[in-house]
Amino acid sequence: MTAETLDPAAAEALRRLLDDTSPQVREALVEEFRRLGNPGITFLRETAETGGGELAPHARRFLRELGGEDTVSTFLEFIRSFQYEMETGMLLLERSVYPGVGVVDTHGFLDSVATRCRQLMLTPSSAREKCLVLSRVLFHENGFRGDAENYHNPLNSFLHYVIRRRRGIPLTLSVLYILVGMRCGIELEPVALPGRFMAGCFQDDEPFFIDAYERGVFRNEDDLRGYFRHLEMPFDPAAMMPAPVGEVLARCCRNLVNQYTASRDHTRAKLFAEFVHEFELAYKRHAEPN
């Protein structure tokens, strides 16, 4: 429900006035939102999440005027910048829906898991040996696993909630694996297979792939060929190559469109469809000759 902390009649009255261009009305609304405090900010944030809705830009403008961070616009600016970094992108994506998510807590958890991994890693050791340690710490000591029971729960696509619930889908569990691995000096890459997501390591003579959804099982090229046969699809060697960070984030947004549609949250499904569209425009602009 929109604006759960406001009386429904009050929320509807505010909605009717949001797009009024009269300076007197706008000034009165600013004062009213200040009087309402947190419930008013919550109302504006939830209205801003409608993405392409007619009232969304008005809600965002009030948020800026009131000093409340407009996390939807922040993520849109990140997408348009074409300067993508995985950890930043995943957290900005999440904060577009959950502005109060503790970024410091997420960083702290990733740092602490990496510290534990480094304590257990022998020197010298290969990338494969380091990944064995990483899998042990993430999936056995911390209990991360695939959420087969509620696979389409949107919370499975948000890094903070994956960490909190110790459950996720292939994409977010792989991102978690990669982010911890980076802190341990392991060069891991996202690998976007059809219908599956893994972390790939190309440091050793033979590349190998970590299936984070299956609690860190290692896969090789033959395993991936078998996966394509299982899908009755021709094998595509390009699918084993690292996926650009922007494509990873766009795929996460597509997942959320499907997840929110399945849960009948059409407002948020529309918001993430807008994000997907912005990623497509950003890639199109980047491909155009100067």
pLDDT tens digit at each of 290 positions of the chain: 333 467 888 888 998 999 888 888 888 888 888 777 667 877 887 888 754 478 888 888 888 777 667 788 889 999 999 999 999 999 999 988 887 777 888 999 999 999 999 999 999 999 999 999 999 999 999 999 999 999 999 999 999 999 999 999 999 999 999 999 999 999 999 999 998 999 999 988 889 999 999 999 999 999 999 999 999 999 999 999 999 999 999 999 999 999 999 999 888 899 999 999 999 999 999 988 76
Task: Name beta bridge partners: 192.
Answer: 197
Tell me, what's the pLDDT at 68?
A: 65
Maximum Cα–Cα distance across the chain: 70
Tell me, what's the pLDDT at 200?
A: 97
Residue 146 and residue 173 in contact, taking contact as beta carbons nearer than 8 Å: yes
How far apart CA 62 and CA 57 sit, in angstroms, is 9
Tell me, what's the pLDDT at 50?
A: 58
Tell me, what's the pLDDT at 3?
A: 37
Tell me, what's the pLDDT at 78?
A: 96
Q: What contacts 24+ positions apart, CB below 8 Å, involve 253-258?
A: 253/93, 253/279, 255/157, 255/169, 255/171, 256/154, 256/157, 258/152
Tell me, what's the pLDDT at 67?
A: 66
Beta strand ranges found along 158-282 (DSSP E): 167-168, 188-193, 196-201, 208-211, 217-219
Tell me, what's the pLDDT at 79?
A: 97
